[in-house]
Structure 1
Amino acid sequence: MNQYVLYFSETDKSSLALVGGKGANLGELCHIPGVNVPTGFCITTQAYTDFVNRSEEFARLLEALRDIEAEALETIKEAGRRIRTYLENLDIPSPISQEIIQAWQKTGSQHAYAVRSSATAEDLPGASFAGQQDTYLNIKGENELLVHVRKCWASLFTDRAITYRAKNGFDHRKVLLSVVVQQMVFPEVSGIMFTADPVTGNRKVISIDAAFGLGEALVSGLVNADLYKVRAERIVKRQIAVKKLAIYPLAGGGTEERDIPSQEQSKQALPDEAILALAQVGRRIEEHFGRPQDIEWGYTDGRIYVVQSRPITTLYPLPELPDATSGVYVSFGHVQMMTDPIKPLGMSIWAKTMATIDSQYSIVPAGGHLYFDITDTLASWLGRKTAPALYSKSDVLLSSAIAEVIRRRDFIATLKPRKRAAGTKSYMRKSMGTMAGGMYEMLFREKLEAPDVTAISSQILSELQSELSRRSGRDRLEFLANHFGKVFMVFMDTIGKPVFVAWLASLLIGRLARRWLGESSVLDELTKSAPGNVSTEMGLELGDLADVIRPYPAALEYMKGADDATFLDGLERVEGGAAIRPAFTAFLAKYGMRCPGEIDITRPRWREKPTQLVPSIISHIQSTEPGEHRLKFAQGRVEAEQAAQTLLLRLQRKLGGSFKARLMGKLVRTYREFIGLREYPKYLMVSLLDEYKRVIMEEAARLVERGTVDRAEDVFYLTLEELTAAVATGRADRDKITALKEKYAKYEKLKPPRVLTSEGEAIVGSYAQRDLPEGALAGAPVSAGVVEGRARVVTKLEEAVLEKGDILVAPFTDPGWTPLFVSASGLVTEIGGLMTHGAVVAREYGLPAVVGVENATKLIKDGQKIRVNGTDGYVEIL
């Protein structure tokens, strides 16, 4: 085998280190029956290595790239220019140039060639690197070939390639370059084919872009392309573009742009029979590689040529399912207001819990996130009627996305109920009786009794701690595996009725107010400062803590740079520490189990990382006066009582006013008394998770002592079952843990779709058409009022500092974000609905709020002045 050259027929996926991603894929394509690949060869990475390592100068230039940040564009530009200039003027060693020329002569020196880069980190499943290095077309003759091979090598250091590697964490020294030399095909039509729809993610749809001439015009964006979509061997879409120019080869080498005659510009570039034949080729290639592909192709004289294929790296992963039946999946994170990835330990706990609570709603992983399988629901007539409304209170766009799936009758017809074991539980079915009983009691009983949730929770936690203290090792973990779902159902049996009654009362208040008074926003005033909301109480108590800290600037300065492990002890050494430490300790004793993203057991709790609270404390001190938070809450309660009285007086003046006022009065009292309870299930849930985590970390510490894992946090990448086995055997799969860490680094960059289908399609959802100001961002109104202020875009709570008048703009808010609400003047989130945490707390604080604003944290820049219209549901950038 030659040292510097390999022909396509000699390469395959095992040749990646020698010929890069593009070269390896071309070798694979050559081995697929019925796929025509223009012949050629690869100049190996060994040739590149021997070329660049001829002097110490290149090593010095390469070393200068090591610490360059992706944002340092001017530095990158200058460093890249120096390296490219050096390489383009460096002689190719004779042994390398001789092998290249011999291969060129053997392949056919009379032909024109495409000279393309093929990096070892290119066209991989996790990173495409497409377009980062250069391609040269219609290269003729020995001298031009060598010149453009050298240009290809140098293009490893284009500005865009350096930036891409820096941004994605690739070591510049470890990415090598092969050069693909491929006979040119001069197509009548060329383009790109995706074997899964790149926009929707649908794996059943093939998407084809086609234009006249060489594909370079399409790839470089010089021309609009026809768009064809094929599904099940049928063309389901033809979008014919006006194609004003094309790129064609020149006789002496190189290419030129030519205008297309006006009568040809709107002609369909590729005939129907060729579209269907191309789609078949695409499916053949996809089947060979085992995943959707992005394919470059050309068509001439009735023949299809494939010049490249690479994995599509932008598709959201499909749910991991045991079979290939049709299904619909709803994002657990959008329901729970936390769309960050959940590590395997957290996933396994939730999967086990859901199986215990309600086997009709199984939960499946996809791309580091969890999804409810709602196939059974949508397979039934009743489920299709109720599902959009059921999810609308969690997230408006989620509800819309489900409704969109339901409208696709052909797909819905393929849904079949999942086969489940006899005797499986259905919490939803059981809760129907609870709801019916709650409705009867609210309407016909004089007064409903509120359960003592504090006492119930304390008893549950005390019993759990007692059980855990009596167990150890594997026995403790097996106990945990079955505890969460069971005890949570017991708690929900107690609290489910009043929570449902509060929700029902809110619906009836809104509907009756619209019918009797022509208004829909009365609930906003009635929600203010509702009693018994444990999340609101937490925010108030954090305000009390901030007021204790306020007089001691040295203590606050210490907190900004404190270490979590010694945080409380270090307070003793600063002025005011003796007064602050007991207050901080008491706060952590009550709320230390909370944190942002608290539904994931692996997230650091406030008790583990108390510095997470420091930005909220700073925000509170900067934006409020001492005691102001308590005064505002008390004022909100007064305003709610006045609003209730005004509402009842207005109703008494209407026809049948006595009955209307009496009914509304009962609904308002019921709502005010019970609405705060809706935060308690999550409070208990998080308290339980924290107790589980204490036990798990004790067992993890023992695994570290035994040498089973390197760090205690490594157990986050094990399922609860795998952790239990590791505790029992002293063995864990370290390679799997390492691989999962790498996967989760990629999952962090994924945006989970609200709804996924088994075909891979991501359904986004949309708002109904309405008149909005020009340029306004649409959302769902959840807390009335209009406010203007500076946008404070916060994606990580621990980095948030708000000043007076700032408007909080966040991807989502769960109870861990509550401390910021005291400082904010308004709220904008990307996820949410009328009854989610952020909406309820915003109404309690009287903050105008708009939720479900898609990509709000990207479209709104930190520091911009914005107007939030919480009455009509939109945001304006001023």
Structure 2
Amino acid sequence: MNNWLTYEQMTRENSGGKAAELASMKKRGLNVPPFIALSLATAKRIRGTGEIEPTLTELYPMLDERKLYAVRSSANMEDGSETSFAGLFETYLNVSPTHIADKISACLAAGGKNHIHAYADYHTLKASDIVVTVIVQEMIPAERSGVLFTANPQGLLNESVLVIGNGLGEGIVNAEVPVTTYYLKRDEDFVYFEREEDSPLMTEKERADLLQQVDGLTSKQLDVEFAIADGSVYVLQSRPITTFPTGAMTVLNNSNLVESYPGLTQPLTESFITFAYEQVFKGVAWRFSRSQALLDHYASAFQELVVRVNGRMYYNMNHLYGLLQFLPFPKLLLPIWQEMMGFTQKEIVIPPALAKQTSLWDSLLISSRIIKELVTTPKQMTALDRAFQDTTTFFRASYKTDMSAAEVKNLYHALEERILKKWDITLVNDLYAFTYTGLLKRVLRRWGKDPDSNEWHQWFAGIPMISSMEPVHEMQKMAAFARDHQLTEAIRNITTPNALTLFLEENPHFKSLFTSYVERYGDRGLEELKLETQTFRSHPLKALQQLSDFLDMPPRKESVHVEKERIPFTGWRKRVFHFLSKRARLGIQHRETSRLNRSRIYGMVRTLFRRLGVIAEAEGYIEHHEDIFWLSVDEAFDLKDYRALIAQRKEAQQGFASLPAYGYLVFKGHPYDKAIRIVENGRSAISSHQLQGTPTSNGIVEGEVLVVHHPSEVREGAKDKILVTQMTDPGWVFLLTQAKGIIAEKGSLLSHTAIISRELGIPAVVGIKQATTHLKTGDRVILDGNSGKVTRKEARNES
């Protein structure tokens, strides 16, 4: 029997967990320094007899007197899937051959120490069953060392954490040296880091080398120690991560939702939309099921459909997928729904935490109700629009600028009663639009046509009376009036609210147009569904500034949809095509109308809370009236001194602002916010010259890139540029009227990026990961809206 084993001979059974893992990595080609291990059988014999000399006599010829070694324990129960014994056994570094015997003896004796017994008791293991052996490995003269967690041990499974410091890993583990911590979101290609003092950095090449090595391992949730010396990355140790929080896996996704709530969102908006989503989805569930028991069972799912993490809004996919389970044919509906919503990572569909609650008979009843609802959806959407107009009239008659806090609260709850109990039909209309659009695309593919071609994109362009375009048409009319009456220079010179008031009083005809516009469209704008947003209604000067951008712009020719006689189908296929396409277009039209009305509803709520903010500031409960948006709805109505709480939330939000905008998160256990220090970008310049996305509006243009991170700050400079952004919301229509094209990281066929760009006839490509990183303002690109390709011709001028 061999006392000392080479890596080719090692298994967990004969050499312990740590040695076996090193051997596995070595066999897979990882850059592991040479090592040998004492067999567990020999270690057990030594423990019983105390005879270690024969083993050492066999070892000495294997050592090089000119080298130093690391001597580590390796136990039979170490580095397992349930127990790691991390940091509990002995490790000795920079050991010379003359001192190696003492260190081996110390390692072998480690199994009898009290802290090992305590750990074993905690995990209900017998301490007597623990056998400790030893690894002897060549020392790497590390310039830098570190640890890579392939999943964040705090519970974020699709984020890796890499910690690196100068010198040996011992200094890092013992917190003796400053470290740099990298956070790697590899499925979205994000990197950022937090640095202590003058801690070292890791080059992108070194990171890539380490990650490539680790990717060769079978387990995906590992704690990997590494060292860097002479330009090479060495893997020193690997063990499973066993410290994750308890609880089920939670998946968050902001696809589609990010259109409505881009960037950071404040607590008032979060609490309002959490309640709104609960009521709307609950309404749909009741509409289809008529079962209070079913609603009670899914209560937690309704309450947590959306969640705010690191200041950003996400869908809770556990609950969203769970709610789909009570619908008939969920497997048929799911891919259509995913495609229309623009969800990425479709392959990761978690088993819903909530079991299916409907019997076969229930499913048949639900199916019949869904069919009935879909048949009547267009009429119900028309009725909803009429009801919304009544609500608008009610609000105008009820709201007063001097309302008390109690009156504000009463009016808020009156709106809640009037709107939320009816708004669930908009979700049914989404299903209507998604279903018919998805079926139409499927039919076209089956008939040998490409549903993503220019011909079919044009079919969806030019939808009559699409509401998203109304604000643009009306502003173009107002701009024409200003030009005809020589008001352009005067408008451009207005920079203060007082100057605007004086100008309007001096020009009553223009005042009539302007006030009418603000009354009808004052809630439509960038980030319009965030209550904290400053809109045309709350800040009319912004409307005038937007108008100034239209003064030199001729009316833009919009797309016209494909005429019926040009559709290359005859007979029954033609009838099927027109049946599906008519309903798909009608669903989209109603969807856009309801979205415009939704922005007006949010405008009413915003107006109420702005009034509440004025009251709270006057009472000394908050520093400034706009601080009201840092409170939840319940907190805002329960007025008291919130200044300290608001200061804490503002400070946290500043940290969140420095984080990359993760679109997809997988947590073990409950989602959590990050504790932020000083974040830096960890990415080198990217040299890729061609990017690939999903085409949503056809055409090919060449132009200069303008990267837009904060669209509300872009007033000038967008004209004739290709805009690059994470996503767009309905308010982007004003910027897009000036642009040559649009590139977005998020989106789908029915996203606003797609719909509005088709209406305006400008090319658009969505779904390009990290577009705002790959492309920089000043780059010149060719945007191909037919193929989805974006080609960079030349880099920006760096001078």
Q: Same fold (TM over 0.5)?
A: yes
- TM-superposed deviation, 1:840: 0.9
8 Å contact from structure 1 (residues 525, 643) kept in 2: no
Task: Kindly indicate whether residue 157 of structure 2 is the aligned counterpart of residue 202 of structure 1.
Answer: yes
For 1:353, the aligned partner's letter is A
Residue 602 of structure 1 pairs with residue 532 of structure 2? yes
User: Match of 2:249, SS?
Assistant: coil
In the TM superposition, 1:640-679 aligns within 5 A as 640=561, 642-647=562-567, 650-652=568-570, 658-679=571-592
Aligned counterparts, 1:399-548, within 5 A: 399-401=343-345, 403-406=346-349, 412=350, 416-417=353-354, 435-437=370-372, 451=382, 454-465=385-396, 472-474=404-406, 476-477=408-409, 480=412, 483-484=415-416, 487-493=419-425, 500-520=431-451, 521=453, 522-548=455-481
Kindly indicate whether the alpha-carbon contact (under 8 Å) linking 1:839 and 1:849 is maintained by their aligned counterparts in 2. yes
Contact 2:527 2:729 in 1 (8 A): yes
Corresponding residue for 1:621? 551
Query: What does the per-residue CA deviation read over 1:129-188, in whole Å, with 9 as the maximum and x for residues that have no partner?
Result: xxxxxxxxxxxxxxxxxxxxxxxxxxxxxxxxxxxxxxxxxxxxxxxxxxxxxxxxx985
Give the whole-Å Cα distance in 2 for the aligned partners of 1:458 and 1:221: 59
Q: Matched residue pairs, number?
A: 576
How far is the alpha carbon of 1:490 from its aligned partner?
0.8
Partner of 1:338: 261
Deviations along 1:510-542, whole A, 9 cap, x unmatched? Answer: 333333352322331112221121111221111
User: 2:355 and 2:689 mapped to 1: Cα distance?
Assistant: 45
Using the alignment, how far apart are the partners of 1:792 and 1:614 within structure 2? 23
* 8 Å CA contact 1:346, 1:602 repeated in 2: yes
Counterpart Cα distance in 1 of 2:364 and 2:200 = 54
User: What is the rounded CA distance, in whole Å, between the counterparts of 2:761 and 2:310 in structure 1?
Assistant: 37
Change (3 A) 1:477 1:873: same
User: Contact 2:146–2:163 at 8 Å: present in 1 too?
Assistant: yes
Pair 429,836 (structure 1): closer, same or farther in 2 beyond 3 Å: farther
Contact between 1:615 and 1:799, CA under 8 Å: does it hold in 2? no
Distance in structure 1 (CA, Å) of the matches to 2:162 and 2:651:
31
What percent of counterpart residues are identical? Answer: 18
| 2:147 paired with 1:193 | yes
Listed as ranges, the matches of 1:579-728 within 5 Å are 579-614=509-544, 616-622=546-552, 624-625=553-554, 628-629=555-556, 632-633=557-558, 636=559, 639-640=560-561, 642-647=562-567, 650-652=568-570, 658-726=571-639
Match of 1:751, SS?
A: coil
Consecutive unaligned residues in structure 1, runs of 5 or more = 1-185, 247-264, 284-291, 293-317, 407-411, 653-657, 763-772
Q: Distance in 1 between matches of 2:565 and 2:488?
A: 46
1:394 counterpart residue number: 341
2:51: which partner in 1? none
Residues 613 and 377 of structure 1, relative CA distance in 2, 3 Å threshold = closer
Q: Residue type of the partner of 1:437? A: K
1:861 aligns with 2:776: yes
Q: Does 1:739 align with 2:648?
A: yes
1:365 aligns with 2:284: no
Change (3 A) 1:619 1:468: closer
Summarize the Cα distance change of 1:854–1:226 in structure 2 as closer, same or farther, 3 Å threshold: closer
CA displacement at 1:806 relative to structure 2: 2.9
Match of 1:831 in 2: 746
- Distance in 2 between residues matched to 1:226 and 1:532, nearest whole Å: 56
Conserved 8 A contact 1:559-1:567: no
Shift of 1:392: 2.8
2:724 aligned with 1:809? yes
Contact 1:810–1:857 (Cα < 8 Å) also in 2: yes
Q: Which amino acid aligns with 1:487?
A: I
In the TM superposition, residue 704 of structure 1 has moved relative to its aligned partner by 2.1
Q: Which residue of 2 aligns with 1:44?
A: none
**Match for residue 106 of structure 1?**
none
What pairs with 1:141-152 in structure 2 (closer than 5 Å)? none
Q: 1:779 maps to which residue?
A: 693
Cα displacement (A) at 1:236: 5.4
Amino acid of the structure 2 residue aligned with 1:779: G
1:725 offset after TM fit, Å? 0.9
Cα RMSD of the aligned pairs, angstroms, is 4.5
What amino acid does structure 2 have at the position aligned with 1:511? R
The match for 2:702 is: 788
The worse-fitting range, judged by mean Cα deviation, of 839-848 and 664-673 is: 664-673
Post-superposition shift, 1:591?
A: 0.3
**1:417-467 CA deviation, whole Å, 9 max, x = no partner?**
399xx99xxxx999976642355679xxxx979725542320122344556
**Structure 1 residue aligned with 2:41:** none
Higher relative contact order (CA 8 A, sep 6+): 2
Judge conservation of contact 2:478–2:514 (CA < 8 Å) in 1.
yes
The answer (yes or no) to whether the contact 1:328–1:758 under 8 Å persists in 2 is: yes
Matches within 5 A, 1:270-309: 270=236, 272=237, 275-276=238-239
Residue 758 of structure 1 is matched in structure 2 by: 667
Which amino acid is 2:727 matched to?
F
Does the CA contact (< 8 Å) of 2:699 and 2:786 recur in 1?
yes
Counterpart among 474, 499, 503 of residue 570 in structure 1: 503
Q: Once the 2 structures are TM-superposed, how far is the Cα of residue 587 of structure 1 from its aligned partner?
A: 1.0
DSSP-derived class of the 2:147 partner: strand
Aligned mates of 2:427, 2:307 — CA distance in 1: 25
Q: Which amino acid aligns with 1:219?
A: P
Contact 1:813/1:838 (CA < 8 Å) preserved in 2?
yes
Label 1:690 to 1:331 Cα distance change in 2 as closer, same or farther (>3 A). Answer: same
Residue identity in the other structure for 1:853: I
Distance 2:344 2:774 in 1: 22
Other structure's SS at 1:491 match: coil
Note if contact 1:593-1:686 (Cα within 8 Å) is conserved in structure 2. Answer: yes
Q: Give me the whole-angstrom Cα distance separating, in 2, the residues matched to 1:475 and 1:332.
A: 37
Q: Label 1:756 to 1:502 Cα distance change in 2 as closer, same or farther (>3 A).
A: closer
* Alpha-carbon distance change, 235 to 799 in structure 1, aligned in 2, over 3 angstroms: closer
Alpha-carbon shift at residue 383 of structure 1 (Å): 6.2
Equivalent position of 1:161 in the other structure: none
The structure-2 alpha-carbon separation of the partners of 1:226 and 1:391, relative to structure 1 and needing over 3 Å to count, comes to: closer
Corresponding residue for 2:86?
none
The answer on whether the counterparts of 1:545 and 1:584 sit within 8 Å (CA) in structure 2 is yes
Cα gap change, 1:705 to 1:827, in 2 (>3 Å)? same
Kindly state the Cα deviation for residue 343 of structure 1 after the two structures are TM-superposed. Answer: 0.9
Out of 717-726 and 820-829, give the one that drifted further: 820-829
Is 1:797–2:712 an aligned residue pair?
A: yes
Per-residue deviation, 1:354 = 2.2
Closer/same/farther in 2, CA of residues 448 and 596 from structure 1, 3 Å limit: closer
In structure 2, what residue type is equivalent to 1:621?
A: L
